[in-house]
Amino acid sequence: MHSHLVPAVDDGSDSIETSIALLQGLSALGYRKVITTPHIRPDYFPNTKETILAGFADLQAAAKSAGLEMELACAAEYFVDYDFQATVEKEELLTFSGNHILMEISTFSPPPNLYESIFKLRIKGYEPIIAHPERYVYYEVSEFQKLKDFGCLLQMNILSLSGHYGKPVKDLANKLLKAGMIDLLGTDLHHQRHLESLQKAAHNDSMMDILATREFRNADL
């Protein structure tokens, strides 16, 4: 789960050809289902449900033509800001595997309206998933437990464990794993460099051993 493969809608894949190449790379690594989640963030990526689904339809058609035997699904990665609250009130959100919704927050400082946004989502029947919590290094582990107590699942990026995002992120990822707080793993695949890092990670025995000792809920999605 968690990737950016709908072409030319955010900072992920820039073309159908790139998306197909990335999907082929994931297939070679053993992935059988991909949930792609383009950004929705009005100030940078002003996508709508309609634009994302139109691009996803093109991706599905191209994947079929390429002979990819892989299940594809599409949702979005929502950025939590004041605009997000308005979106929750007025729109049906893009979800996956029922009513799961993927949401991210700033990597620089916590949003003042996070818990209010989560509350509104829960009232409307959505099941929030916090994307890459290990990248929010301004939080203590106790804050993530509070988020879980508030009804959120936590999704870690696989590459965080390899140090791809830096040592502070890697350290927090390990803390969250040891505390048993990570529910889901994601690739957050944007481009070829990410795929190459995922290929290297697949041969990182110590990293794979760490993941093998934990239980995740990806198979439920």
Q: What is the pLDDT of residue 127?
A: 98
Domains of the chain: 76-220 (3.20.20.140)
Cα–Cα distance for residue pair 105/91, rounded to 1 Å: 20
Cα–Cα distance for residue pair 58/84, rounded to 1 Å: 27
Q: What is the pLDDT of residue 136?
A: 99
| Structure-token match 């794993």, residue found | 177
Q: What is the pLDDT of residue 14?
A: 98
Q: What is the pLDDT of residue 125?
A: 96
**Which residue in 148, 158, 221 sits closest to 179, CA to CA?**
148
| Ranges in the chain, pLDDT < 70 | none
Q: What is the pLDDT of residue 160?
A: 98
- Strand partners for 184: 155
Cα–Cα distance for residue pair 155/183, rounded to 1 Å: 6
The two tokens of residue 125 are 């029947």
**Which residue in 162, 155, 168 sits closest to 210, CA to CA?**
162
Q: What is the pLDDT of residue 39?
A: 98
The string of pLDDT tens digits covering residues 1-28 is 999 999 999 999 999 999 999 999 999 9
Q: What is the pLDDT of residue 154?
A: 99
Q: Which stretch of DSSP H or E encloses residue 206?
A: helix 205-212
Q: What is the pLDDT of residue 91?
A: 83
Q: What is the pLDDT of residue 83?
A: 86
